[in-house]
Amino acid sequence: MKKTILSFVAFLVIVNIYAQTATPGEYHYQKLSLFDVLPVTSSDIIFIGNSITDGCEWSELFNSINVKNRGISADRTYWILERLDNIIKGKPRKLFVQAGTNDLGAGHSPQSVAGNIAKLIDRFQAESPETELYIQSIFPVNNSFAKYASHSSKDKEIVEANELLKQLCALKGITFVDVYSKLVDENGKLNREYTNDGLHLMGAGYLLWKEFIEKYVN
């Protein structure tokens, strides 16, 4: 089993060597400067990711000041890797990760996404081993809204990335949370009940997400 883990992760790392040269925008650094001055403690439950995470009021949703939002709109997995220090230093009780949509939209491979998530897991297991990690699936998209074309055309890549993340979590002993299956319709698209643009969630979508993961949060 150990050899299998090393082979799988080594494959992801090799695929992930290729340059990821894009740089974040102003909003990224604005939020990052705020996160750098806000404390993370060992009592906290952290949600990290992109705009889908950023857009939720997590502390209100779970009625707890210890549930904290560390999402940044437009974030990608390799930018998330660059901003982990403050979170790891705080050694939070739990970390929920939901990321990869923007990587795929920018043309990166499912293997690249899984490789970066593997690096995130490795850092926490080495530097904050008491933190419980929950890797959430990449959510489905819906191209019928004719918006976010670079993202909403990645149905197959999302399914492939989620399968890689599921395998990675099984090998690493991490919980994989398949929210995708709760949001997808019979055509393999993000259910129109939960979105108004084919990518982001409306209130009903966040409530469904919350109900599904509540057992892990609590």
Question: Could you tell me if residue 135 is inside a domain?
Answer: yes
Using DSSP's 3-state secondary structure scheme, residue 96 falls into: strand
Question: What's the pTM?
Answer: 0.92
Residues in the chain: 218
Question: Could you tell me if residue 105 is inside a domain?
Answer: yes
Beta bridge partners of 70: 48
Question: Could you tell me if residue 25 is inside a domain?
Answer: no
Give the pLDDT confidence of 56-111 residue by residue, as tens digits: 999 999 999 999 999 999 999 999 999 999 999 999 999 999 999 999 999 999 99
Question: Could you tell me if residue 31 is inside a domain?
Answer: no
- What is the domain extent for residue 99? 2-12+41-217
Nearest C-alpha neighbor of 123 from the set 162, 93, 163, 83:
83
- Count: domains in the chain: 1
Question: Could you tell me if residue 101 is inside a domain?
Answer: yes
DSSP string, 11-77: HHHHHTTS-------HHHHHHHHHHTTS---TT-EEEEESHHHHTS-HHHHTT-TTEEEEE-TT--H
Question: Could you tell me if residue 210 is inside a domain?
Answer: yes
Give the pLDDT confidence of 161-208 residue by residue, as tens digits: 999 999 999 999 999 999 999 999 999 999 999 999 999 999 999 999
Question: Could you tell me if residue 33 is inside a domain?
Answer: no
Q: What is the mean pLDDT of the chain?
A: 93
Question: Could you tell me if residue 30 is inside a domain?
Answer: no
Residue 60 sits in a domain whose CATH number is: 3.40.50.1110
